[in-house]
Amino acid sequence: MERIAETLTILTPEDKEATDLPRVSEDELAVGKKRLYIESYGCQMNFSDSEIVAAVMRNAGFATTSTADEADLIFLNTCAIRDNAEQKVRNRLKQLNTLKKRKPELVVGMLGCMAERLKTKLLEEEKIVDIVAGPDAYRDIPKLVEEAETGQKAVNVFLSREETYADIAPIRLNSNGITAFISIMRGCDNMCSFCVVPYTRGRERSRDAHSIVREAEQLVADGYKEVTLLGQNVDSYKWTSADGSEHVNFALLLERVAQVSPELRVRFSTSHPKDITDDVLHTMAKYENICKYIHLPAQSGNSRILKLMNRTYDRDWYIQKIDRIRAILGEDCGISHDMISGFCSETEEEHRDTLTLMEYARYDYGYMFAYSERPGTPAAKKYADDVPHDVKLRRLNEIIALQQKLSLERNQRTIGQVQKVLIEGTSKRSAEELCGRNDQNKMVVFPKGDLQKGQYVLVRITDCTAATLRGEVVA
């Protein structure tokens, strides 16, 4: 039962596997270079950041490897969103300690949100760690490595108001050659009371719009077929040119990326209910290659709890956003959510408000957690974590059970429909089947035939589970 409360629950098994397990760097052909191994934990932003780190270290003379045993330098790119995420990293450090005893010259670094949250305290608590670098310090990593190689501990946890890494071309790690992330902004100005992100990733700043479009163009030239625009809150993207002549909001940026190529699928994550606009929804409706799928975290269905969370909207506001999505993009638009059970002082009636919101929204799937108090957050300072653990677990299980029911019902609606699918590769269960995602970000499995990865294909849906669609290719 403990694992249910602390683990991210996603109703697509492929996504769950990818999220529960760290992503590791790939083998790069290199002679005479030192080897870099990166493990990335947590969100898509971390995976994107690891690609920036790999690019920075390539320029410093390192090549990546997929095996820690072969590495001269190991980085763990960490998450701090829940205590369980940090414990995973600490357990991994214990495993790596054996390797370091065998190779004393090995340099081990901690990157990302956990590094930013704990800062130099990490060096005291984890003797194996040589480098601590926060999310805005990645340009400085080669210098930190040089310091560590002399036997010194090296730290940079400075948070920047300008850094976006816009000029660094990421090295695509764990890439299928078809889909890629583009980071469009960094940091977050939404001070949700339960969240550490503003303290670990700093204030919000948007990347140069032209650099984003150029990156999308290069990905198309390299054969990629899908990009996901990433930000803690993409809807608040705002960029102004240095001379003040050009202003780009998220709706305009989304349109520019969609115009790069009609063959390039465009997704984005994450949206905040207070900021997503009708302009964004109308832009999605206008372009066939912008996927009709929105991740719209609710966190709770009760207005009092939302106020305690400092989400800056209430239940009615959120419902209005769901209504606008359905009105502009239709009933088939995919919507997913984040939901927290057992936030401070949550009552049974308020928990039921979450369940009724889920029923109203008819979510396709969700990311569901029991509340985990994070040190230093406003909630930890102001509110008692007073919902008993077993009550959190029971409420979480009720949320999960309802979402499984909703997911199955939403998937059953697609049976008989013909859907456009981008082939991502071979199904994990059978070499005779291929898989790919439809517009709504759902995995579709179908017979292989003579089709190949990277092709678009039309699939008639014939069957489904709560997690996966199955179908047959139509001409």
Q: Which amino acids are annotated as binding site for [4Fe-4S] cluster, given as ranges?
A: 43, 79, 113, 188, 192, 195
Handedness of CA 248, 251, 254, 255 (dihedral sign): negative
The angle, 0 to 180 degrees and rounded to 10, between the axes of the packed helices 44-59 and 141-149 is 70
Cα 6 from Cα 58, distance rounded (Å): 36
Contacts of residues 416-419 at CB distance under 8 Å and 24 or more positions apart, as own/partner, are: 416/460, 416/461, 417/460, 417/461, 418/458, 418/459, 418/460, 418/461, 418/474, 419/444, 419/458, 419/459, 419/460, 419/461, 419/469, 419/471
Do the beta carbons of residue 47 and residue 62 sit within 8 Å? no
Residue with tokens 């439809």: 438
| Burial of 404: CB neighbours in 10 Å, binned 0-12, 13-18, 19+ | middle
Helix (H, G, I), strand (E, B) or coil at 228: strand
Q: Are 226 and 422 in contact (CB under 8 A)?
A: yes
**Tokens representing 88?**
């995973």
In 3D space, the residue among 42, 50, 52, 84 whose CA is nearest the CA of residue 66 turns out to be 50
Residue 380: other Cβ atoms inside 10 A: 16
SS3 category, 162? coil
- CB neighbours of residue 317 within 10 Å: 14
